[in-house]
Amino acid sequence: MIAVNFKIYENTFGNGVLELAKICKKVMEKTGVKIVPVVSVVDARMIKEKLEMEVWIQNVDEFFEGAKSGSISPVQAKEAGIDGSLINHSECRKNPGTIKKILKAWPKKFVATVCLSSLGQAEGWAKNIKSDFMAYEPKNLIGSKDRSVASEKPEVIKKIVEIFPKVPILVGAGIHSAEDVKVSLKLGAKGILISSYIVKSKNPEEKLMELAKCFKK
């Protein structure tokens, strides 16, 4: 599985988000590898309605309903047809108590992906939480063009896979080659969470194809 985090890069503004999501869908259909656009709340419903594909958002808050202006409610997102969300991305961090509070009242059939930036988190507060996916992304490698989670932290990927034997692990940060994907999968990850290599590329379709092919047996 490939989760493509669109972040709020400029080329996904306006129509750009639809174009990139269409490419995700096209590559998914061509390769049979699941690809999920992880988009801003501003665009999520539109992508869902126009493309009828699985869509996640990049963040939800700990408020589910009520007088909480500006908050992103997981329940509201689910009701709007969105399929899931990241929680605790390094660029949108939450404290462990808040993450547990969010997960406790999490809507059914809404996919939760808790992001971790270190082994310490995996061994500590995250060890017993319930999440559909866990994503390991070392913060200092996010956006890197020459170093990745796969090249720099293979032993941590392996340990995190061992810590959560029942939870599919995604890995991300600096992924920029087929080799990165192959190494990650070999270490036990079930997929990748990727952004700049795809979103900022002049040819995202080609890059996605290159990575999706690594999932084939």
- The reply on whether position 142 binds ligand G3P by CB under 6 A is yes
Residue 5 interacting with ligand G3P (CB under 6 A): yes
CB 183 within 8 Å of CB 161? no
106 lies in the binding site for ligand G3P (CB under 6 A): no
Is the CB of residue 65 less than 8 Å from the CB of residue 78?
Answer: no
- Which of 37, 74, 84, 174 touches ligand G3P by CB under 6 A? 174
113 binds ligand G3P (CB under 6 A): no
- What is the distance between the alpha carbons of residues 104 and 160, in angstroms, rounded to a whole number? 22
Q: Which of 77, 156, 173, 208 binds ligand G3P (CB under 6 A)?
A: 173
Structure tokens at 16: 């750009």
Determine the interface stretch with ligand G3P among 40-48, 105-113, 123-131, 171-179 (rule: CB under 6 A).
171-179
Q: Which residues contact 104 (CB under 8 A, 6 or more apart)?
A: none
Q: Which amino acid, residue 130? A: K
Q: Which residue has the tokens 């992103």?
A: 72
Which residues are catalytic, by number?
Answer: 89, 137
Q: Which residues are at the interface with ligand G3P (CB under 6 A)? A: 5, 89, 137, 142-143, 172-175, 193-197
